Structure 1
Amino acid sequence: MTRAPGRRPYGVRSAPYAFLVPAAVLFLLFFALPIGYALHLSFRRTRVRGLGLGKGARDEIWAGLANYTDALSDSELLHGTLRILGYGLIVVPVMLGLALLFALLLDTDRLRLRGFSRLAIFLPYAIPGVVAALMWGFLYLPDVSPFHFLLDKAGLPRPDLLDGGPLYLALANIAVWGGTGFNMIVIYTSLRAIPAEIFEAARLDGCSQLQIALRIKIPMVAPSLVLTFFFSVIATLQVFSEPTTLKPLTNSLSTTWSPLMKVYQDAFVNNDIHAAAAQAVIIALATLALSFGFLKAANSRTKRGESR
């Protein structure tokens, strides 16, 4: 049997759309609708009549931009943002620096047990953040930490990492320990994609391993460094599980230590879901603005480099 030219079998034209339906439904249910509902809540407010008891004593009214005005003038949210900025200034450079260093070391030909080393560096990323925070919290507590026991036996001072300024280092250590492996894999994959002929030509020209790393490898994996920096900034702005998990272990962590902890406190403790929705929208917009601005700056710099 022959098929008439130009005619497609029945259902071929609609097949791509049928394959897209499950993804579109999941996108609408778990992404678009929650965002739309959060926006709806952020423009409303609960009005209480009298003591707020009985039927009809509470109802929702249109609040306009009042929730956003209150959020932007909230000192706790501002202080939480400043704490996160200080936390990010520690986490992002250290984590990306270690990830780049490990990726460069794994890419050398003289390294032995490359597979085991790669797995050992990546393995902390597979551990859930809550479990990692509990494990490190146990190691931080002076009364139960084996490190503090060894320092005490050696007659050395035992620092309390869960109090005061060292708290930032304690939280940053958890993030660096867990996130370095993922960023290292991204950078290492880019390094392995570089043609070997480039390195051979550099060696014939007399370049050392350090010169190859600084002048060839790092510039060629710059897009991966931009990507990992982008992911790291977003993860820093959304930090929640680590300080929440460590909070029962120290009085230095407040319930509003980070912006997302402030959102959780207002939504589920203070029962002010409308204020929490406005704060969540502001955090999302700030993250989007920072990400878009950084990507635009990185793209413009890349274009200027290509034009030269």
Structure 2
Amino acid sequence: MAPPLSRPLQAAPRPHRLRRGERSAVGLFVVPFFVLFTLATLVPVGYAVWMSLFEEESSGLGFGGTHRVFAGFGNYAHALTDSDFLRSFAHVAAYCAVYIPVMVGGALLIALLIDSAMARARRFFQIATFLPHAVPSVIASLIWLYLYTPGLSPITDLLGRLGAHVDFFGSGTVLLSVINISAWQWIGYNVIIFYAALQAIGRETLEAARIDGAHETRIAWSVKIPMIRPTVVLTLLFTGVGAIQLFDAPMLLQSRAITMGTSWTPTMFIYDAAFRGHDYGLAAAGALLLALVAGGLSFVVTKLGNRWKES
């Protein structure tokens, strides 16, 4: 019996090359992005770099006006040797040490509880956790400023009746007060991100784990969390970068918490230098140094996250 005829080998399809008209259309759609990116990002950053190299000097005992002189890296040296600026980074480091685990770990726990097979009224809990995020940051800070103020807050009145007198503006508690405001507002945002990632896990995978006898806690730890590692890393990155830009809550609380000062965070130091001290060179240098710290933090989190995803 003759062997069956073999099919002729087909050449691999050639990659589609864009024609001149198609390349023009792609470029036309890309140009608006680069224009907006240049105007909204590159130009302000370049202007900040230029401003950081100059400083204002007054002449004639202050009666001769001010003029701008080239300072080189003098503003950067001033910022890096300013005790208030360095202390502000220490405050943010302590803030991040508590805030980031609470935000990521707490949001992940809530999302896992909502996604569990035993959960009820999932839509209600999604809305309830996300609702504080709909409140603007300034309004949220004002709400909690009211709730922290003795004589106005029902919380302090209730604690007083129970014999617990808590000073939310004290030097030992103000950090936790700020963390509470930020976590209350932003944790629901992370919950929605984690819950969306959990919904993308194949239901057949979870059913197979249940058939094998795994309980919900084991499924969450051994199946769900490993499958959403990229989302956890991305959320950790966004949370960390957002944390070092802390401004609204401490800016409002410092009006009552006199121990905080006007430079409690790096962003508050930059604001104080620019709009109270009118030292725009120092403010620009501080902003660029803060951006470098954010970039370094992003690099470290990304590297550690990639190792965790590969493990």
- TM-score (structure 1 length as normaliser): 0.91
Which of 287, 302, 307 matches 2:309?
Answer: 302
**Alignment pair present for 1:134 and 2:142:** yes
**Alignment pair present for 1:186 and 2:193:** yes
Counterpart AA for 2:154: P
The whole-number CA distance in structure 2 between the counterparts of 1:186 and 1:9 is 40
**Alignment pair present for 1:223 and 2:233:** no
Counterpart AA for 1:42: S
Indicate the residue corresponding to 1:273 in structure 2: 280
Cα deviations across residues 103-130 of structure 1 (Å, max 9, x unaligned)?
1011112222111110110111111111
Contact kept? 1:92, 1:229, Cα under 8 Å: yes
Q: 1:35: Cα distance to partner?
A: 0.4
Q: 1:10: Cα distance to partner?
A: 9.2
The whole-number CA distance in structure 1 between the counterparts of 2:132 and 2:73 is 43
Counterpart AA for 1:82: A
Contact kept? 2:171, 2:260, Cα under 8 Å: no
Indicate the residue corresponding to 1:164 in structure 2: 171
Which of 289, 297, 300 matches 2:296?
Answer: 289
Q: 1:86: Cα distance to partner?
A: 0.8
Which of 22, 47, 54 matches 2:32?
Answer: 22
Indicate the residue corresponding to 1:4 in structure 2: none
What is the aligned length?
Answer: 296
Cα deviations across residues 47-86 of structure 1 (Å, max 9, x unaligned)?
32223434xx432222111111111111101111101111
Task: State the secondary structure of the residue aligned to 1:226.
Answer: helix
Q: 1:186: Cα distance to partner?
A: 1.1
Indicate the residue corresponding to 1:263 in structure 2: 270
Which of 46, 49, 54 matches 2:59?
Answer: 49
Contact kept? 2:237, 2:298, Cα under 8 Å: yes
Counterpart AA for 2:56: T
Indicate the residue corresponding to 1:101 in structure 2: 109
Q: 1:94: Cα distance to partner?
A: 1.1
Counterpart AA for 1:131: I
- TM-score (structure 2 length as normaliser): 0.90
Indicate the residue corresponding to 1:3 in structure 2: none
Task: State the secondary structure of the residue aligned to 1:159.
Answer: coil
The whole-number CA distance in structure 2 between the counterparts of 1:9 and 1:93 is 51
Indicate the residue corresponding to 1:92 in structure 2: 100
Counterpart AA for 1:148: T
Q: 1:180: Cα distance to partner?
A: 0.6
The whole-number CA distance in structure 2 between the counterparts of 1:59 and 1:103 is 57
Which of 206, 212, 221 matches 2:213?
Answer: 206
Contact kept? 1:142, 1:158, Cα under 8 Å: no
Counterpart AA for 1:127: V
Contact kept? 2:230, 2:309, Cα under 8 Å: no
Task: State the secondary structure of the residue aligned to 1:59.
Answer: strand
Structure 1 residue ranges, 4+ long, deviating more than 6 angstroms after superposition: none
Contact kept? 1:247, 1:253, Cα under 8 Å: yes
Which of 251, 256, 259 matches 1:244?
Answer: 251
Contact kept? 2:57, 2:68, Cα under 8 Å: yes
The whole-number CA distance in structure 2 between the counterparts of 1:286 and 1:106 is 35
Counterpart AA for 2:41: F
Contact kept? 1:83, 1:258, Cα under 8 Å: yes
Indicate the residue corresponding to 1:75 in structure 2: 83
